[in-house]
């Protein structure tokens, strides 16, 4: 995780948690003058639009005071959804047995994209079974990881 993301996560997680939600993860997508700060929140009872609004107001206030992002950006507060992104080793471990799609920052064994069964974690690696092979992917090399929803 980049230091900017770590800083944002450390700043925003306590705010989200004080409101009674889990801070599932933070994404910052820098797109020149139109950057996006997305905060994912979760709760055992699910997330409604009102929950996102409440968290957005609080997070927005903290961001206005702390001003950690110098450029213009849009703040978006969202539930992780059915294709929930995975950010931490704990989240990968919790979702072992699920199908996942993983994109790496740089190629590993000649490829950046992996889709398959999430087997779990081992130390700092995520274990994925894809194409009848088992891969140990360092969590720090993962750019993006999502659950593939099942509809059965």
Q: Which CATH number fits domain 89-147: 2.60.40.420, 2.30.30.100, 3.90.190.20, 1.20.1740.10?
A: 2.30.30.100
Distance CA 135, CA 130 (A): 7
In which residue ranges of the chain is CATH 2.30.30.100 found? 89-147
Q: Is 32 helix (H, G, I), strand (E, B) or coil?
A: coil
75 vs 6, 91, 114, CA distance in Å?
Answer: 17, 23, 30
Q: What fold is seen in the domain 3-78? A: GMP Synthetase; Chain A, domain 3 (3.30.300)
pLDDT of residue 70: 82
How sure is the predictor about 31, in pLDDT bands with cuts at 50, 70 and 90?
confident
How sure is the predictor about 121, in pLDDT bands with cuts at 50, 70 and 90?
very high
> What does the block give as tokens for 152?
């059965």
pLDDT of residue 34: 82
How sure is the predictor about 2, in pLDDT bands with cuts at 50, 70 and 90?
low
What's the whole-number average pLDDT of the chain?
94
In which residue ranges of the chain is CATH 3.30.300.70 found? 3-78
pTM: 0.89
DSSP 139: G
User: What DSSP letter does each residue of 82-124 carry, written as one string?
Assistant: TT-B--SHHHHHHTTTSEEEEEEEEEETTEEEEEEEEEEEETT
Angle at CA of residue 63, ends 25 and 47, nearest 5°: 40
Residue range 9-18: average pLDDT? 96
């Amino acid at each position: 995780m980049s230091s900017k993301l770590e800083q944002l996560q450390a700043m925003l997680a306590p705010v989200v948690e004080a409101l009674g939600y889990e801070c599932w993860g933070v994404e910052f997508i820098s797109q020149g003058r139109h950057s996006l700060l997305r905060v994912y929140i979760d709760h055992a009872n699910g997330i409604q639009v009102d929950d996102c609004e409440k968290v957005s107001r609080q997070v927005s206030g903290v961001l206005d005071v702390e001003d950690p992002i110098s450029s213009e950006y849009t703040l978006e507060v969202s539930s992780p959804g059915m294709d929930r992104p995975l950010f931490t080793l704990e989240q990968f471990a919790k979702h072992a047995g699920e199908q996942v799609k993983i994109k790496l920052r740089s190629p590993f064994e000649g490829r950046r994209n992996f889709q398959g069964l999430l087997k779990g974690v081992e130390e700092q690696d995520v274990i994925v079974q894809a194409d009848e092979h088992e891969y140990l992917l360092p969590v720090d090399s993962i750019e993006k990881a999502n659950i593939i929803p099942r509809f059965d």
